[in-house]
Structure 1
């Protein structure tokens, strides 16, 4: 299984793509959304870039390519994704 993300660098900037196999994930943390803050899904990936997107589109939070922010409407989907990834991670 491979996780792939495309992140736009600025409103009119180029997409930066990043992908990694679940077998390279050594840790997953999920902070669920709260009243005034988005949820945050972070992967610890062996050998992954730690470059930070300095100019995220639509005023998003600066994050590295292994960190994903999400809204409360996606809470259940993210919980299910985390469970599935943890089941596939090497023990």
Structure 2
């Protein structure tokens, strides 16, 4: 398993920090810019010979918020335990 960060979202940076980001990265962000979320998005890619698609689907579905968690809203989500800290060595 390999989990890597591609760096911060540009939307999370102060305007002055954008000058330190390569022009290609700024252009890529601008292509998919969302009015509310900016360039915030995640990409999951799974490649493996003999990939257990059903098992992978079950694991991914277990990551979804329950209806109750979703209804609790953003403020409550901030208090959920961090799921990836052990993978990212945070």
State whether TM-score is above 0.5: no
Task: Return the TM-score normalized by structure 1.
Answer: 0.25
Give 1 or 2: higher helix fraction: 2
Task: Return the TM-score normalized by structure 2.
Answer: 0.25
Question: Which has more radius of gyration?
Answer: 2
Give 1 or 2: higher strand fraction: 1
